Amino acid sequence: MTIVSVGLSHRITPVELLEKLVVPSAQLDDVLARLCGTPPIDEVVVLSTCNRLEVYAATRGPVAEVTGAVADLMAARGPVPVGEYLRTARTRVDAAAVEHLFTVACGLDSMAVGEDQIVAQLRAATHAATEAGTAGPVLTRLIDAALRASKRARTRTRIGSAGISLARTGLGLAGEALGGLEGRHALVLGTGGAGKLAVRLLHQAGVGRLSVAGRNEPATTRLAASVGGTPLGADDVPTALADTDLLVTATGCPAPLVLAEQVRAARSAASSRPMFVLDLGMPPDVESEVGRLAGVTLVDIAALGRHLAEARRPDDMPVVRAIIAQEVAACVDAQRAAESGPIIGAMRARVDALAASEMVRLSGRLPDLTEQHRVETEAAVHRILRKFLHGPTVRARELAADPDGRLYVEALRRLFDPAGSEAIR
């Protein structure tokens, strides 16, 4: 089985293109089903966040067909030309795909280097694929290994000790613009992972009033209650904007929910105090014109990316990369061993079948053979065949760990024909 990743990220893809291609959670099941329904793809997981869209697939077919299938579907969803998608997408295969996934899980490929929100996002992506029936044993083992590598890196280094995240970074900028967050009136629109994090951080910062709005009324009520905040309905948001110092949005909706006209009307009804808008949505939750209104500062994903690009990288990144290299090597070796296991088992089963066939033939030729002689003869036959197979079995496991191990495993499959296409005579 070949591991393939086809991905777009903030490092190689314009934000405008990512906005068009992001997969909302409501559409994820359909995308997974359509991808897994294409002939070259056996298993698939889709990781769609505010700064990346990556497809991880396990295949027995040609890599080019996997890339083509992913590009055709994702480009059509945009819609964008397939050529434009392929120009910015990056395809990685086997060890390179594994290394990239581990790097992502450890937070080294994030806008906020070391952020741990990606761990929850990766778990959620795997859960969604498992529920949809598109994540099988190959990708499940791979992502479990990536999460273990992430835990080891975060435990043994300071890569995640600063608690950096897009939400935390954005709220830091908000505090600078507003002269601190304590006592401010804040409104969070969205109850997903980013929304929950923003609510928790704002509560810790001591904001004066904290309101929460979302499409799911029970979830909104629970989140607001957890911090002593006020739950709002969607219809309450335009009015609430008039008394809001800080608006944080993270809904995952396909179109902006906060319109410039709404904010303009709210500003006209409010005092002249400044307003800060932090848009963590992808696609954006807030119309870009909002940032051009007097007294309003708008910071979105692109702006956060530019700010974080200038940030100092953690000192122990080389240590994290060394850990990733070790974990990748172990994972690749385990994958190769897993692929050789069924072949070796099939070889043994083939030998046992041959021994049993010969004993049936011998019993037919020597009907007077005593039970003791039959048992001794059968044991001798099995012993000889097992001894003969021991060397090739040990060597097969050794060769499976070779960089070209898949070629050796395939050669064994063809030589010993474990599928049994050749009849036993």
Please give the tally of structural domains in the chain: 3
Task: Read off the CATH number of the domain in which 270 is found.
Answer: 3.40.50.720
Domain assignment present for 156: yes
- Please tell me the distance from the alpha carbon of residue 250 to that of residue 253, in angstroms, as a whole number: 9
Which of 303, 326, 360 terminates a domain? The answer is 303
Q: Is the pTM of this model over 0.75?
A: no
End-to-end CA distance of the chain: 32
Question: Is residue 138 a contact partner of residue 43, using CB atoms and an 8 Å limit?
Answer: yes
Q: Is 195 one of the annotated binding-site residues?
A: yes
Is residue 204 domain-shared with residue 158, that is, in the same domain?
Answer: no
Query: What integer pLDDT is reported at residue 47 of this predicted model?
Result: 96
What does the pLDDT profile of the chain (425 residues) look like in tens digits? 899 999 999 888 888 899 889 898 889 999 999 999 998 999 999 999 888 999 999 998 899 999 999 999 999 998 999 999 999 999 999 999 999 999 999 999 888 888 888 999 999 999 999 999 999 999 999 999 999 999 999 988 888 765 567 888 899 999 999 999 999 999 999 998 889 999 999 999 999 999 999 988 999 999 999 999 999 988 899 999 988 999 999 987 888 999 999 999 888 876 667 999 999 988 899 999 999 999 999 999 888 888 887 766 667 788 999 999 999 988 887 777 666 666 667 777 777 777 888 888 888 888 887 888 878 887 888 778 777 777 777 776 666 656 666 666 667 666 665 454 443 33
Query: What are the tokens at 267?
Result: 């500003």
Is residue 154 domain-shared with residue 232, that is, in the same domain?
Answer: no
The beta strand positions in 194-295, using DSSP E, are 209-213, 230-232, 246-249, 275-279
Is residue 48 domain-shared with residue 124, that is, in the same domain?
Answer: yes
Is residue 153 domain-shared with residue 174, that is, in the same domain?
Answer: no
The SS3 call for residue 31 is helix
Query: What integer pLDDT is reported at residue 161 of this predicted model?
Result: 63
Active-site amino acid positions: 50
Which of 114, 141, 162 terminates a domain? The answer is 162
Query: What integer pLDDT is reported at residue 151 of this predicted model?
Result: 93
Domain assignment present for 321: no
Domain assignment present for 424: no
Is residue 6 domain-shared with residue 155, that is, in the same domain?
Answer: yes
Is residue 9 domain-shared with residue 154, that is, in the same domain?
Answer: yes
* Per-residue pLDDT tens digits for 70-79: 999 999 998 9
DSSP alpha helices (H): ranges in 283-370?
301-309, 317-365
Task: Read off the CATH number of the domain in which 143 is found.
Answer: 3.30.460.30
Is residue 7 domain-shared with residue 153, that is, in the same domain?
Answer: yes
Domain assignment present for 322: no
Place of tokens 């409104």: 187
Question: Is residue 2 a contact partner of residue 60, using CB atoms and an 8 Å limit?
Answer: yes
Q: Is 115 one of the annotated binding-site residues?
A: yes
The beta strand positions in 77-170, using DSSP E, are 90-93
Q: Is 49 one of the annotated binding-site residues?
A: yes
Domain span holding position 236:
166-303
Residues in the chain, overall count:
425
Is residue 137 domain-shared with residue 179, that is, in the same domain?
Answer: no
Q: Is 193 one of the annotated binding-site residues?
A: yes
Is residue 153 domain-shared with residue 185, that is, in the same domain?
Answer: no
Domain assignment present for 250: yes
Is residue 48 domain-shared with residue 141, that is, in the same domain?
Answer: yes
- The strand pair at 246-249 and 275-279 is best described as parallel
Domain assignment present for 118: yes
Is residue 152 domain-shared with residue 171, that is, in the same domain?
Answer: no
Pick the closest to residue 246 from 176, 162, 336 (CA basis).
176
Is residue 21 domain-shared with residue 150, that is, in the same domain?
Answer: yes
Domain assignment present for 315: no
Which of 120, 147, 162 terminates a domain? The answer is 162
Q: Is 191 one of the annotated binding-site residues?
A: yes
* Per-residue pLDDT tens digits for 56-68: 999 988 999 999 9
Domain assignment present for 317: no
